[in-house]
Amino acid sequence: MELKLRRGGAMRLALGVYATFLCVFLMLPLVVVVPISFSSSSYLQFPPPGWSLRWYRAFADDPVWMGAAWRSFQVGVSATLLSTVLGTLLAFSLVRGRYPGKQLVAQIAATPLILPTIIYSIAVYSLFATLKLIGDWRGIVLAHTVHALPFVVIIVAAALRTFDVSLEHAAMGLGASRLRAVWRVTLPQIRPAIVSAMFLAFISSFDELVIAMFLGGSNMTLPKKMFDNIVNEIDPVIAAVSVLQIVLVSAILLVVARFGSGARPPD
């Protein structure tokens, strides 16, 4: 559909100028870290006095930074897989099921979204302390899965609701079992939604600081290491890490755009 501003040119122009300013505000922090990451100076000088790759090298040569990055990746992938499986099951149940208490289940599934992260963090910290799970990366995976679950449920449920069930019934009419029909017809159809959900789940874990701060103990994730660096030393390594993260996220976004768009069945 087409909405048009009746006032015509002047208003349209003002809106365009405003949108440009807002885009500058949105992009400014991302753009600023790039020159700093290539600076030759240890101080936050802008513009940098000279150029070097020393902060990227400092990141790659530091086992603490690399360990934190690897741990975050490991936690992110695990939490993504777990929350995608659990969230997709829950979405199927909420969209297809008709049972007493469904409203309550939907409410419970949404609650981690409303509960401030700091409250969940200390709650799970106190529980995991008694279970001796503090400092164990698998503990962070469990908590991050809770954190990511509502995103997966919302996205997959929305896709399932627009999915035409008669396609699945047709497959079953042609002799497929329910499981096979879901696997070969329904899931390929909602694949873009699942890919988006996985992306969201991964980023929500990979960027998450507060839960990891409490549960990580001395085993730091990347956000915790970055937080400590900002608070304590604030050298341009953090800018180099920032640029690498921005590049990583952009790359994943491209992958999602590629695989999220087509809804072709496999084979």
Partner 1 sequence: MAEAAVLPGTAVPRRWWSPHSGPALLAAAPLLFLLVFFLYPVFRLMLLSVEGGTTAHFEKALTDGLYVAVLLRTLEIAAYVTVLCLVLGYPFAYFLATATPFWATIGFVFLLLPFWTSILVRTYAWMVILGRNGIINRFLLDTGLVSDPIPMLNNLAGVLVGMVHVLLPYAVFPLYSAIRRVDPGLLLAAEGLGASGWQVFRRVFFPLTLPGVLAGSSLVFILSAGFFITPALLGGGRVIMVAVLIEKQVRELLNWGFAAALSIVLLGAVLFVYFLLRRLMRSELEWS
Q: Which of residues 228-247 bind partner 1 (CB under 8 A)?
A: 230-231, 234, 238-239, 241-242, 245-246
CB of 201 to partner 1, least distance (A): 13
Residue 143 makes contact with partner 1 by CB under 8 A: yes
CB of 226 to partner 1, least distance (A): 5
* Contact range with partner 1 by CB under 8 A, out of 21-29, 50-58, 73-81, 183-191: 21-29
Q: Which of residues 200-229 bind partner 1 (CB under 8 A)?
A: 203, 206-207, 209-210, 214, 223, 226-227
CB of 49 to partner 1, least distance (A): 13
75, 154, 159, 197: which one binds partner 1 (CB under 8 A): 154
Question: How long a stretch of residues is the chain?
Answer: 267
For residue 101, give the 3-state DSSP assignment.
coil
For residues 98 and 267, which CB has a smaller minimum distance to partner 1 in the complex?
Answer: 98
For residues 53 and 164, which CB has a smaller minimum distance to partner 1 in the complex?
Answer: 164
CB-CB neighbours of 86 under 10 Å:
17
59, 65, 120, 151: which one binds partner 1 (CB under 8 A): 120
d(CA 204, CA 145): 9
**Sheet strands (E) in the chain:** none
Binding mask 91-110 for partner 1 (x = CB under 8 A): xxxxxxxxxx-xx-xxxxxx
- Quickly tell me which residue has 């469990």 as its tokens: 142
For residue 39, give the 3-state DSSP assignment.
strand
For residue 190, give the 3-state DSSP assignment.
coil
Residue 13 makes contact with partner 1 by CB under 8 A: no
For residue 229, give the 3-state DSSP assignment.
helix
d(CA 150, CA 108): 9
* Contact range with partner 1 by CB under 8 A, out of 2-10, 59-67, 186-194, 258-266: 2-10
Residue 132 makes contact with partner 1 by CB under 8 A: no
φ/ψ of 207, rounded to 5, equals: -95, -5
Residues 6 or more apart whose Cβ sits within 8 Å of residue 203 = 249, 252
